[in-house]
Structure 1
Amino acid sequence: MDNIRQERLPGTNFVPVAISGLVWAYRFREGYAPEALEAGDVPGALLAEDGWLWLHFSLTDRLARDWISSLEQLPEEVRSLFMASDEPLGLQAGGDVIYGVIADFHSELAGESDHIGRLRFALSERLVISGRRHPLRSVEEIHRAVQGGLNLPVAGQLIETIIDRFCDAVARRVAAMTDELDTAEDRVVVDMATTERSRLINVRRITVRVHRQLSSLSSVLRNWHARPRDEKDKPAMHISSKRLADRLESLDHDMHTLQERAKLLLDEVAARQADETNRSLRALSIITALLLPGSMVAGIFGMNTKDLPFTDTEGGFWFAMIIGVAATAVFYWVLKRVGAGLRL
C-alpha cells in the first residue's frame, strides 16, 4: 500500500484518496477479524468509537512525516518524534500517548539480516502509529500474521508482540552462533585454527552489535517499569515491560557469553598463528645459519685473485666442496657445543 502522493476528493468533507508513505492500515475490533483499510477509510476509522487502528508508515517519504505531523490526535512532542533525524532508543509518555523508539532487525529478501534498525511508534488507546526507514523483520512477521487473522485485542499488545518477536529473532541467532562457535572450537582443537578466524570475527561482530541493542532496550523497559504509576493508566495501553526486560537481559547475558567465548577463541587462534609464524622463522633462521659457512667458502673460491688454491689442481672443485661441507659440519658442532637449540 506504499503510495507516493496525497490527493483529496472534492466535496464538503475532504477525504484522502492516498496517504503518501502509508505501508498498511488495519482496524482491530474485539470479536472480528482484523480489517485492512484503504486510505479513504482511515478518517472514518479514526472517528469510530470501537476497536483501535494501526497505521504503519515508511519514514523515508517526507510527505508521510508531514501527514503524521498534522495529525491532531497526537501531542506535539509525539509528532516531533517522527520528524527527528536521530533515533535513540527510548520510551516516554506524553498526555494519553506512549511513544518511543525500539530496535528490530532489518528484513531482507535474501534471508535474515544482522543489521538492526529502528521502529518509531506512538501508542494511544485507540491508535497506534508506527514508522521505519527500512523494512523490519518483526514488524513484517506481525503484518503477515495479521493478514492471516491474528487479532490483537488491545493496542498495547502490538508493541509488546513486536518486542517479543525481536527477542525470538535474537534467540535464533544465539542458537546459530553457539553452533558456529562449537564448530570453530572443534577445528581449533584439532589444529585448524587458520580456517576459523573469519568465522570467529563474524560471530564477534554480530554479538557486539546485538549486545548494545539488547542492553539499551532492556534498560529502557526497566526504567519504564520503575516509573511512578498513574491512576489514569489505561489497560489497553499496558506493556509488560518487566517481563520483556527480563527476557532481554537473559538474551543479553547469552550474547555476552558468546562474545567472550568468541574473543577467547580468537586469542587462541592468534596465539597458534603466532606460534606457527615463529616456527617458520626459526626454521628459516637455522637453515640460513647452516648455509653461511658453505657460502663463505664458495665466496672465497669465487674471488678473481691470484694464488687461489686448487686452481690448477686436478679435482680442485671437489676439494672445495669438501671444505665447504666440512666448514658447515664444524659450525654445526660448535653450535651444539655452546647449547644453541637447532630443533625446528
Structure 2
Amino acid sequence: METTAAKISRISYGAEPGIRFALLLDGKGGCRQLDMAGMCAWKPADGVIWLHLERDHPAAAAWVNVEGRFDPLVSEALLEEETRPRVEPVEEGLLIILRGVCATSPEEAEEPHPDIDLVPLHLWVDVNRVVSLRDSGHYITALRDIRAALEKGKGPQRSGDLLALIGDKLVRDLEPVLDAMDEEVDELDEMIFHGDAGEVRERLKLLRRRSVQLRRYLAPQRDALSRIEHDDATWLVERDKLRLREVIDKLMRFIEYLDAIRDRTGILHDDLSTVISERIARNSNRLAALAALLLPPSVVAGLFGMNVGGIPGVNDTWAFIIIVAFVTISSVATLWVLRRIGWL
C-alpha cells in the first residue's frame, strides 16, 4: 500500500502548468510544497525556495521573464535551448548550466533506468533561491532523489547545500551508464572472433560515438563545477565546497574512464579489421586453390574440345581413359603442391 508521501508526491508533481514542483525548505532537512500563489507570495524572509520548471513551457518562460525578476541576460540564458555546461557569477548569484542523465519518466515506465543521453539542467542559485529548469520531455532522477529526501526530512538545508547535492547526484547517475558501456565493450571483445562482423562493427561505431558525446559535455562540466568550488559566494560554505571537490574528483575519474572506453573501442575496431582481413585472405586462398585444382582439367578440356582437325585419340577407344587418368594424376599433384606451400 502506498504511503501518504508517495500519494502527495504523485498528485503535486506537475500539477501547475510549466511547474514541476515548488518547495520551501524549512532549514532542517524538510520542505513544504507551494502552489503558484505560494510562489508569487514568497519573500526571502520565508526561507530558501526551490522551483523546478519546464524550460520549454510558456508559463515557465513567463515566470522567468516577469516574476523571477532576473537580469535580462540571465533570463535569456535560463531559457536558451542549446547549451554547454558553464558557470557565470551574476551579482550575488550563480547562473549554472549542467548536464544530467536523462531517464524514463515514471509516467512511461514503472522502473526508470538511465539512458546515455545527457540533457541540460539550467540553474539559478543565490542565498534564497534555487531555480532549476529542464525540458518537459526529459526526466532527471537526481532531482527526484533530492526531492524524496526533502519529503522525508533528510534533504538539504541551504541553497549551497542543495547546489552541492544536485552536482553530486548528477555525477552519481553517470556511473551505471559507464558500467553498461564497459560491459558492452567486454561483450564485443568476445564477439569479434565468433560473432557477426557487421553487428560488431555497427555496435562499436555507436559505442565510440556515445563515449565521444559524453566526454564532450563532461569535460566542460568538470570545469563548471570547479569554478563553483572556487567561487567566493558567501552562501557556499566550506562543507559545500568539500562536497563539490569530491564530485569533481569523481567526474575526473569518469572522464578518464570514458577515454579508456574510447581507446578500447579503437583497439577493438583495429582487431575487427584484422580479423576481417584474415577472413578475406583465407577465403581468397581457398578460391585460388580451387582455381589451381581446376586448372589441369580445364586446360585438357579446352584443348580436346576445340572443333578443329588433328585432335589425337579421336578413333582410339583408350583415349578417354588415358585423359581421365592424366587429369586425375595432375589434380592430385596440384593438391600435393598446394598443401606443401600451405594454401590448404
Question: Does the TM-score normalized on the shorter chain lie above 0.5?
Answer: yes
Contact kept in structure 1, 2:84 and 2:217, CA below 8 Å: no
For the residues of structure 2 that align with 1:33 and 1:242, how far apart are their CA atoms? 25
Corresponding residue number in structure 1 for 2:24 = 27
2:235 corresponds in structure 1 to: 234
Q: How far apart are residue 49 of structure 1 and its match? A: 1.1
Q: 1:148 to 1:341 in 2, by over 3 A?
A: farther
- RMSD of the alignment, in Å? 3.0
Alpha-carbon separation, structure 1, partners of 2:289 and 2:150: 72
The range that moved more, 99-108 or 197-206, is 197-206
Amino acid aligned to 1:341: I
Identify unmatched segments of 5+ residues in structure 2.
1-12
Residue-by-residue CA offset, 1:25-55 (whole Å, 9 max, x unaligned):
11111237321222222122x2251321111
1:57 aligns to what?
53
Which secondary structure state, in structure 1, belongs to the residue aligned with residue 142 of structure 2?
helix
Counterpart position of 1:124: 126
Equivalent residue, structure 1, for 2:159: 155
How far has the Cα of 1:167 moved from its partner? 1.9
Matched, 1:89 2:85: yes
CA contact (8 A) 1:155 1:236 kept: no
In 2 relative to 1, CA 135–72 (structure 1 residues): closer, same or farther, beyond 3 Å? closer
Counterpart code for 2:39: V
Determine which of 62, 66, 74 is the counterpart of 1:70. 66
The normalised TM-score by structure 1 is: 0.81
For residues 188-203 of structure 1, what are the structure 2 equivalents within 5 Å? 191-192=193-194, 194=196, 197=201, 200-203=204-207
Q: In structure 1, what is the Cα distance between the partners aligned to 2:68 and 2:168?
A: 30
1:150 & 1:73 partners in 2: Cα distance?
A: 30
Give the C-alpha shift of residue 246 in structure 1.
Answer: 1.9
Question: Partner of 2:155: helix, strand, or coil?
Answer: coil
Q: What is the aligned-residue identity percentage?
A: 19
Out of 226, 242, 245, the residue aligned to residue 248 of structure 2 is 245
Distance 1:33 1:226 in 2: 28
Question: Which amino acid counterpart does residue 313 of structure 1 have in structure 2?
Answer: D
Kindly state the Cα deviation for residue 183 of structure 1 after the two structures are TM-superposed. Answer: 4.4
How far apart are the structure 2 equivalents of 1:68 and 1:116? 24
Tell me the amino acid that sits aligned with residue 118 of structure 1: P
Aligned to 1:320: 323
> Which residue number in structure 2 is paired with residue 264 of structure 1?
267
Q: Does the 8 Å contact 2:293/2:335 carry over to 1?
A: yes
SS at match of 1:23: strand
The 2-side partners of 1:226 and 1:123 are apart by: 15
CA contact (8 A) 1:100 1:122 kept: yes
1:341 correspondence with 2:341: yes
CA contact (8 A) 1:91 1:224 kept: yes
Unaligned segments of structure 1, at least 5 residues: 4-17
The normalised TM-score by structure 2 is 0.81
Q: 1:219 aligns with which of 200, 223, 245?
A: 223
Correspondence for 1:170 among 159, 170, 174: 174
What CA distance in whole angstroms lies between the structure 2 residues aligned with 1:94 and 1:77? Answer: 10
Q: What is the rounded CA distance, in whole Å, between the counterparts of 1:84 and 1:202 in structure 2?
A: 28
Task: Identify which range, 300-309 or 107-116, moves more after superposition.
Answer: 300-309
Q: Offset of 1:94 from its aligned partner?
A: 0.5
The verdict on how the C-alpha distance between 1:177 and 1:40 changes in structure 2, with shifts beyond 3 A counting, is same
Counterpart-to-counterpart distance in 2, 1:22 and 1:72: 13
Q: What's the offset of the Cα at 1:285?
A: 1.3
Secondary structure of the equivalent of 2:161?
A: helix
Partner of 2:5: none
Alpha carbons 2:23, 2:49 under 8 Å: kept:
yes
How far residue 170 of structure 1 moved from its aligned partner, in angstroms, is 1.9
- Which amino acid is the alignment partner of residue 305 of structure 1? V
> How far apart are 1:247 and its partner, in Å?
1.9
1:197 & 1:215 partners in 2: Cα distance?
Answer: 27
Q: For residues 98 and 212 of structure 1, do their structure 2 counterparts lie closer, same or farther at Cα, with a shift above 3 Å needed?
A: same
Give distance in 1, aligned partners of 2:319 and 2:227. 92
Residues 84 and 220, structure 2, Cα contact 8 Å, conserved in 1: no
Write the letter of the residue equivalent to 2:125: L
Residue 117 of structure 2: aligned partner: 115
Alpha-carbon separation, structure 2, partners of 1:72 and 1:145: 26
Distance 2:145 2:301 in 1: 78
Q: Aligned pair in 2 of structure 1 residues 273, 55: CA closer, same or farther (>3 Å)?
A: same
Amino acid at match of 1:143: R
Higher mean displacement: 50-59 or 321-330: 321-330
Identify which of structures 1 and 2 has the higher relative contact order when contacts are C-alpha pairs closer than 8 Å and 6+ apart. Answer: 2
What amino acid does structure 1 have at the position aligned with 2:163? I
